[in-house]
């Protein structure tokens, strides 16, 4: 009887795969059909084995832009712009084939609910309030606008907005479920380090291909593609790219869709790699973690991303100061770091060029002035109780109607879901910051404590970030909520290890 059920399931899976791939072939072509044929078994696999599904999701995340634009080639050059193929949307949604089934598999698991491991009622309450305010905006603002404006699909915009603001919050639960012991934690950290190092190495190859002319630069492209990141200049991995050496312009996307996403991936990676370098007990993996820190710094230098160029070195230095316990050698190490930094920035031409470009750009358009202008724009009769509608600033909704380009996170929140929703969101991140801080402070073992500190500083930094909108899009929107779940689980892992036997506690000492 058991074998008969397995045969029936396999036949149903095969039939579904053939049906969906055939449908994708009709609407999107061969690439879409192949993707559809792969997504069906991946969806079933992720639901049946949620931990592997989550791991596949985290691995696919930094590679999704490369798969979409470099491998699947979902765009075609048309005149001075580009046109997307029918498989464009399918490839952009592909990562959800891992995440959503894994989340459903966790939610229907009786084991996690019977254990009642999540006892964070203040966090659950604030999340519920924030979700309630989002749905209020959806029903009170998006619905009326949709009926009054036939050109824009406001309801679909609202669904996109709900996905943006609420879609990845369940990753807290996913991370909490995923980490069942410290061996799983080590495995996850090592996979993350390898993915980060791989992405940075691919970015270095992309840079070399441009420098040596194997990939054509942007100088021959028509304006504005020769002075702004464009898919027409796509090279090797990732999506939109700018490389115009004649005008001293470079914006590399790495393995991501756009250069600014790559910049925030590098910023996030600096926290993760430094934390793993402190927590891994293996000398080999500790060395690999340090090597990944170097690759992140190199990728930051060559990518031309000013935000990352400013923040990544500061983050590494800050984490070094916070985790360094040998006070006697601290001044000596700082002096060595300072001397090496001065030598590199003055003697290495590439570094000197990037620093000069950063200073010039800062003087031309200081970030604090940009933030002030955005706040001033919002204050001109644009602050309302429930906002102007979910998805009204989301780039993912631009094909559903007119959207408003807002590039600072608090302004974006207030414009979309109003002052009420913004206050609710602040309560979520503040509660999460406090709970994760308590989790970090409760850790006793040095390795876990070092990892917990690095991850908590990341939570603190992103929670109150006033510039741009990293929490509204990949990859930070994924890493933020997942890292929060990891932090909340670390004290449980520590207690579990210590309660088994003294021998097993060597892993965390």
Bridge partner residues of 84 (DSSP) = 75
- Percent of the residues in the chain that have a pLDDT greater than 90, as a whole number: 46
> Which spans in 49-170 are helix H?
50-60, 64-66, 88-92, 96-107, 110-115, 121-137, 143-148, 154-166
Say how far residue 211 (Cα) sits from the centre of its chain.
28
Q: Is the peptide bond before 438 cis (omega within 30 degrees of 0)?
A: no
- Answer for the pair 193, 272: CB distance below 8 angstroms, yes or no: yes
* Of 403, 382, 386, 402, nearest in space to 394 by CA: 403
Dump strand ranges (E) for 51-140: 75-78, 81-84
Record the pTM.
0.90
Higher pLDDT, 419 or 110: 419
Residue boundaries of the structural domains of the chain: 1-116, 117-508
pLDDT score at 114: 56
- Dist. CA 491–CA 45, nearest whole Å: 30
Which residues make beta-bridge pairs with 82?
A: 77
Dihedral angle at the C-alpha atoms of 471, 473, 477, 478, nearest 10 degrees? -170
Give residue-wise pLDDT tens across range 152-210: 678 888 898 999 999 999 999 999 989 988 999 999 999 999 999 999 999 999 999 99
Top-ranked range on mean pLDDT: pick from 326-335, 338-347, 385-394: 385-394
pLDDT of residue 133 exceeding 90, the answer is yes
**With 70 as the cut, is the pLDDT of residue 328 above it?**
no
Half-sphere exposure of residue 351, counting CA atoms within 13 Å on the CB side? 12
Residue 6's pLDDT band, with cuts at 50, 70 and 90, is very low
């Amino acid at each position: 009887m058991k074998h008969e059920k397995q045969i029936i399931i396999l036949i149903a899976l095969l039939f579904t795969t053939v049906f969906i791939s055939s449908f994708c072939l009709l609407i999107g072509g061969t690439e879409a059909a192949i993707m559809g044929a792969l997504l069906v078994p991946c969806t079933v696999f992720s639901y049946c084995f949620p931990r592997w599904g989550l791991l596949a999701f985290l691995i696919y995340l930094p590679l999704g832009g490369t798969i979409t634009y470099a491998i699947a080639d979902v765009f075609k050059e048309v005149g001075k712009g580009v046109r997307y193929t029918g498989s464009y949307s399918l490839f952009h949604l592909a990562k959800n084939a891992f995440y959503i089934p894994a989340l459903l598999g966790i939610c229907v698991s009786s084991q996690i609910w019977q254990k009642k491991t999540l006892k964070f009622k203040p966090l659950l309450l604030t999340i519920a309030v924030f979700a309630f305010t989002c749905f209020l905006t959806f029903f009170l603002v998006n619905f009326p606008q949709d009926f009054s404006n036939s050109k824009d699909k406001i309801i679909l915009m609202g669904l996109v907005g709900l996905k943006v603001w609420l879609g990845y919050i369940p990753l807290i639960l996913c991370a909490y479920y995923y980490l069942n012991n410290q061996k799983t934690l080590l495995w996850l950290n090592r996979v993350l380090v390898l993915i980060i190092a791989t992405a940075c190495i691919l970015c270095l190859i992309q840079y070399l291909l441009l420098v040596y002319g194997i990939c054509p630069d942007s100088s021959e492209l028509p304006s504005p593609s020769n002075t702004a990141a464009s898919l027409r200049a796509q090279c090797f991995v990732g999506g939109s790219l700018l490389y115009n050496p004649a005008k001293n312009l470079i914006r590399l996307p790495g393995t991501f869709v756009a250069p600014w996403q790559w910049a925030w991936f590098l910023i996030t990676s600096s926290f993760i790699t430094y934390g793993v370098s402190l927590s891994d007990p293996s000398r080999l993996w500790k060395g690999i973690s340090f090597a990944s820190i170097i690759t992140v710094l190199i990728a930051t230098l060559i990518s031309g991303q000013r935000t990352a160029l400013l923040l990544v070195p500061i983050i590494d230095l800050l984490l070094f100061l916070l985790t360094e316990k040998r006070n006697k050698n601290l001044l000596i190490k700082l002096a060595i770091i300072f001397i090496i930094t001065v030598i590199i920035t003055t003697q290495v031409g590439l570094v000197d060029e990037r620093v000069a470009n950063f200073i010039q750009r800062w003087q031309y358009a200081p970030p604090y002035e940009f933030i002030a202008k955005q706040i001033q724009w919002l204050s001109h009769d644009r602050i309302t109780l429930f906002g102007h509608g979910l998805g009204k600033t989301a780039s993912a909704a631009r094909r559903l109607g007119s959207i408003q380009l807002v590039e600072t996170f608090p302004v974006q929140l207030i414009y979309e879901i109003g002052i009420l929703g913004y206050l609710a969101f602040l309560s979520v991140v503040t509660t999460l910051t406090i709970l994760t801080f308590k989790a970090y402070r409760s850790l006793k073992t040095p390795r876990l404590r070092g990892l917990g500190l690095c991850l908590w500083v990341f939570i603190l930094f992103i929670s109150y970030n006033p510039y741009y909108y990293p929490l509204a899009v990949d990859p930070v929107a994924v890493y933020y909520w997942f890292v929060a779940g990891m932090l909340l689980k670390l004290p449980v892992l520590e207690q579990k290890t210590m309660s088994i036997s003294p021998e097993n506690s060597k892993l965390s000492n």
